[in-house]
Structure 1
Amino acid sequence: MLPSDLLMHRYQGEALVPKRLAINAGNVAIATEAIDCFKSACNQTRGELNQRLQDLEGDGTDYRVKRGLAHLLSSGFSTFDVISPLDPPMLRQRVFTLSAQTVPSPQATTQTLERLAVHLSQELDRDVSAIQIREGLYADRPDNQILTTFDAPTPEALLHRYNLSQVQGVFYKATQIIINAHRNDPGEYKLLFRYLKLFSLMAYIEGDADQGFTLKIDGPASVFSASTRYGLALAKLLPALLHVTKWSLTATLTNKDTYSKKQRTSRFALDSECGLVSHYPPGKPYDSMLEASFAERWQKTKTDWKLEREIDLIPIPGSVMIPDFRLVHPDGRTFLLEIVGYWRPEYLKKKFSQVRQADRSDLILAISERLNLDKAGVNFNNTPARLIWFKDKLVPKAVLQVLED
């Protein structure tokens, strides 16, 4: 994403409008120049790349756009590595220790490097030269890091990422966001809720899969002190939301006015017709290796019970529960399966609270024996769910036994 100093927006009354670049020939040319600049800088230092980028900016008024494109290419498509035959911090410590014993001068510097080269050659049992020491002394500094790989996007993809980043920056100062996810495929809801959980966002959820869901999410500038980390996490949710077919969003923002320096409240609105493009994958089949391995074992099991991944959501007060699997029998019987193999006290308390609130007798709860439920303060009694305990892996036989019972 873009840092705050590269975000650009304007106001229409109380509405904030982020800057977005049209996908036209002129902007494609600008994006192409930035991409070519990175391509030509492969295996060169970051400092050399930055000099090329400064030359590319020139004296034009669009320097912030070019700087924003360069930032995205550097942070999202490039890998910079420290290339040095010797550890730079170790070299600095040894060089400074030796140099403190002499009066500073060019000749003394040369002698210090040569002395250290002799010492290191003996210690490492290989040839070390003064030139290697000089080159490696500050190899870990950002400007000296080497651009080793560059996964070049298309110019159009870079412009889409720029537009998305400008909109994401809006949420850095949000006090509250309300998302109305209208009637969509249940799989789209689940992907959105999983990202919501992944980024540890505080949300109140109402609705159901038939009518849609309303998500009220606290922003970083809400009742607690503003948190940059939380603001970034909130901004990361937007690419996930773009995978939902039909939705609308409104946000309340608090910004400091450029001229008066006073806090200014503004509004922002967005919907599924916004034209933004997500770079997030549409979702992976399983959330953990535990789920993936269980599904693989189930495929090898001879049973009439069918294991389904895409299942309905279970609405509970203020939230939603997403079971891992659904088990369906040809005679019409169905059960939901939730695998609890993740250890964290807050997670376990929330999970068992959801199970009790869901009050579903058709829910099977598979719990790892490695979880310290007593330490987490979790009581799994008085729940209508059927319980299965497992150690290292959940085997289909244990689940089938519960189903047949």
Structure 2
Amino acid sequence: CRSMLPRRLLRFRVRRGLMVPLWLNTDNPEYVSAVERAIAFYEAHLGVEKCKIDWDEFRYEVGDDRLADGLRYALEHVYSWKPPVSLQRFKCNPSELRLKLFKLVNSELDGFAKDRISVLKRFALEHGFKDPVELEEFLWSDDPRGYLLARAMERVDVDRVVKLYNFELLDTLLSNSRMISFTSTGSLTMPKGTFVKALVREVKRLGLIYDARLEGGEVTVDVYGPVELFGRVTRFAWRLSALFDRILTVLRACKRWRVKILVRLKRRDLPCVLTSEDVPSLLMDVRQEEAVEPIFDSEVERRFYLVMSCVDKYRVEREPEPLIVGSTLLIPDYAFTRPDGVKWYVELIGFWRPEYTVKKRVKLEELRKAGFKRLILLVDEKYVEHFKGLGFPVFTYRMRGGKLDAPYGAIISLITS
């Protein structure tokens, strides 16, 4: 698993309160030359042990210490470190074999072997090695310091490394974010409603928390970053890069769009804005995605749908079209349409934080004041106190032994009455 570019290696300027990342581009001869020198350095050290490579020399060759250290993270995608011997050739791993040799020397030779070579020769033959030299090479072959530099692909070019560096830069910005806001005016091929629905679908698939609003002809979806939710960068952060990758096609189908990333740096927040006019050249989809463990239990949504869809008195729709009342925009989890055309909506709430609750309550209050009534709130019983008094029917649920305990009968009765 590759590590992420650390925040200290971010290269940016601040202009009028905005963070301006120093992206690489192939139109800048200085950047092209620096990347070429970085690639040449790696090529010259193919087959060299990691501990024997002079990284100060690498920084000198690139000419910018922070850029050089950042490029090393980009180059990890196209170069790799391989053990000096194949670990698959033998049945045990080096650490197990070292332990066996240690026990042998301590139990049979009182912790000291007078004839080291003969002991190693006997041990080597017993474990399938041809001689002590091959044995010793294998014994320490799992030490990363002795790994050899190798090319991970047939050819490494400047354009690819530039895009990988920009990806690493963006990945670190997203991972240190408090909020990521996706805004669009829509287009003929990508209306605002379709944009929101497509974005929210990916947000939910990745188990992220979001909010949405409509202002001045623009629609905005705010996605909560790890700093906002947890106060720090977490393993949850990779999902934001995955979201950006998945939604990039949707963004490009819009006439105009912008993404505002509120980045947490030390003790202050700095906004960074990407637009349809100045998005950097990126190579996305290069970091391996992990299994998604949602912030709230997606099993709740699945089980609720399975039970409610068994009733033939209405039609259930998951992720329906957004509800837009004035500037308020809400995308309920389900829509239940009766044969007479009356439609009820259900919103599941399984996550709570003070900031999230305040925004959610304001949105729900605006819907209620605008005269919207047919919305049911199904809330995790641990958080129900925070969602009372809104003027909408509130029911609670809990997971018990892998089963969803919810008042299905009461909800069905309300929808069908």
> Which sections of structure 2, spanning at least 5 residues, go unmatched?
286-318, 324-328, 336-349, 351-373, 377-399, 413-417
Q: Aligned to 1:222, what secondary structure does the other structure show?
A: helix
Does the CA contact (< 8 Å) of 2:14 and 2:20 recur in 1?
A: yes
Inter-partner Cα distance in structure 2 for 1:81 and 1:242 = 34
The 1:264/1:191 distance shift into structure 2, 3 A limit, reads: same
Counterpart residue number, 2:33:
29
1:233 aligns with 2:236: no
Measured on the aligned residues, the alpha-carbon RMSD in Å equals 4.1
Inter-partner Cα distance in structure 1 for 2:19 and 2:237 = 17
1:252 aligns with 2:262: yes
Counterpart residue number, 2:162:
159
Moved more, 89-98 or 374-383: 374-383
Aligned-residue sequence identity (percent) comes to: 20
Q: Aligned to 1:175, what secondary structure does the other structure show?
A: strand
Counterpart residue number, 1:93:
99
How big is the shift at 1:315?
2.4
Q: Give matches, 1:136-155, under 5 Å.
A: 136-147=138-149, 149-151=151-153, 152-155=155-158
Counterpart residue number, 2:121:
114
How big is the shift at 1:117?
1.0
Counterpart residue number, 2:269:
265
How big is the shift at 1:147?
4.6
Counterpart residue number, 1:56:
58
The 1:190/1:95 distance shift into structure 2, 3 A limit, reads: farther
Residues 150-205 of structure 1: CA deviation (Å, up to 9, x unaligned) = 22442023213323432332233322222213314458767644543444321123
Counterpart residue number, 2:208:
201
Does the CA contact (< 8 Å) of 2:24 and 2:31 recur in 1?
A: yes
Residues 281-318 of structure 1: CA deviation (Å, up to 9, x unaligned) = 6xxxxxxxxxxxxxxxxxxxxxxxxxxxxxx9732563
Q: Give matches, 1:153-192, under 5 Å.
A: 153-184=156-187, 185-186=189-190, 192=199
Counterpart residue number, 1:222:
228
Counterpart residue number, 2:78:
77
Q: What amino acid does structure 2 have at the position aligned with 1:196?
A: V
Q: What TM-score comes out, normalization by structure 1 length?
A: 0.60
Does the CA contact (< 8 Å) of 2:5 and 2:168 recur in 1?
A: yes
Aligned residues: 297
The correspondence for 1:132, drawn from 134, 138, 143, is 134
How big is the shift at 1:374?
7.9
Residues 260-288 of structure 1: CA deviation (Å, up to 9, x unaligned) = xxx2233222212123123236xxxxxxx
Does the CA contact (< 8 Å) of 1:190 and 1:322 recur in 2?
A: no
Inter-partner Cα distance in structure 2 for 1:191 and 1:110 = 67
Inter-partner Cα distance in structure 1 for 2:49 and 2:174 = 30
How big is the shift at 1:322?
11
Q: Aligned to 2:222, what secondary structure does the other structure show?
A: strand
Does the CA contact (< 8 Å) of 2:62 and 2:68 recur in 1?
A: no
Q: What TM-score comes out, normalization by structure 2 length?
A: 0.58
Q: Aligned to 1:273, what secondary structure does the other structure show?
A: coil
1:2 aligns with 2:12: no
